[in-house]
Amino acid sequence: MEQLSISNLSKTYKNGVQALQSINLELSTGMFGLLGPNGAGKSTLMRIIATLQDADEGSIVFNGIDVFKHKQDVRKTLGYLPQQFGVYPRISALDLLTHFAILKGISHKNQRIDLVNALLHKTNLYEVRHQYLGGFSGGMKQRFGIAQALLNNPKLLIVDEPTAGLDPKERNQFYFLLSELSEQAIVILSTHIVDDVKELCTKMAIINQGQVILDGEPRSLIDQLTGQIFQKTIAKHEIESYRAAYSVINEQHYLGQPLIQILSESAPPGFTASQVGLEEVYFTQLTM
């Protein structure tokens, strides 16, 4: 069982922006979802865990290793797919993955060939291994990104906003791959897309303005909120008055009219109980 412990982690940039404020998280083997809006501090936290950026305060311990003191040891068992993953457009998947394997110190030719082919099979790219990466779809590029992140058989895999821009089929393929990998490693999935966490993660945290505002198991967090969310279809000119009168957590349109969801201990007149899912948990935390 892999273990990652994050304690009192803080980071402030030179311009005064406090990106992280006393982050405390405990992760173990499986898929962990880090959910939050853009600018919440997710990417900063991912880069710090990946040893690409220093924190101002706090500590990270991975399987008993102090991440800040022993960065090279951690990097040997770390895989990282950043939010922006560039590829060389006029080189094949096979050639570029082989190049990355050489850079990671896999010097024995037969071992390298076997590993590269195995990863291309694992990411469902073997049939297109001779194609230029410039012709790959968004989903294929993301799967190639995972292939390069797996070259050292990581026990800690970090993926930052991996499904943004993917179509539903590509997203499902990516879900399946990450789920399979999480059986043997800690996989941290950083995203602002609620469905990513809902589909994949057994544990999660919500981060906003550099702080963890909620963490736990998605199913448990949903159960805690059940019976407290109510909804009502209203006229457009009524939106402001309802915002003033109730704790509105979400607004959407249904058959051309605004549909609002509110947080309340009981149903106000005209409201009906709303089905509670992870989106409601997320919106509730962001509006509290």
CATH of 3-215, one of 3.40.47.10, 3.40.50.300, 3.40.190.10, 3.30.420.240: 3.40.50.300
In the structure, what pLDDT confidence band is assigned to residue 218 with cuts at 50, 70 and 90? Answer: very high
pLDDT in tens, 189-210: 998 888 888 878 989 999 999 9
pLDDT in tens, 122-164: 888 999 999 999 999 888 888 898 899 899 889 999 998 887 7
The alpha carbon of residue 29 and the mean position of all alpha carbons in its chain are separated, in whole angstroms, by 15
How many residues in total does the chain contain? 288
Token output for 207: 């981060």
Q: What is the DSSP letter of 56?
A: S
Residue 7: exposed, middle, or buried by beta-carbon count in 10 A (0-12, 13-18, 19+)?
middle
pLDDT in tens, 37-57: 988 999 999 999 999 999 999
Of all residues in the chain, what percent carry a pLDDT higher than 70?
Answer: 99
In the structure, what pLDDT confidence band is assigned to residue 118 with cuts at 50, 70 and 90? Answer: very high
Q: What is the DSSP string of 96-132?
A: HHHHHHHHTT---HHHHHHHHHHHHHHTT-GGGTTSB
Q: Where are the domains of the chain?
A: 3-215, 223-287
pLDDT of residue 249: 95
Torsion of the alpha carbons at 156, 74, 1 and 183, rounded to the nearest 10: 20
What mean pLDDT comes out for the span 167-178?
A: 84
In the structure, what pLDDT confidence band is assigned to residue 58 with cuts at 50, 70 and 90? Answer: very high
pTM given for the model: 0.88
Token output for 72: 């090279």
Q: What is the DSSP string of 73-89?
A: HHHTTEEEE-SS----T
pLDDT of residue 129: 93
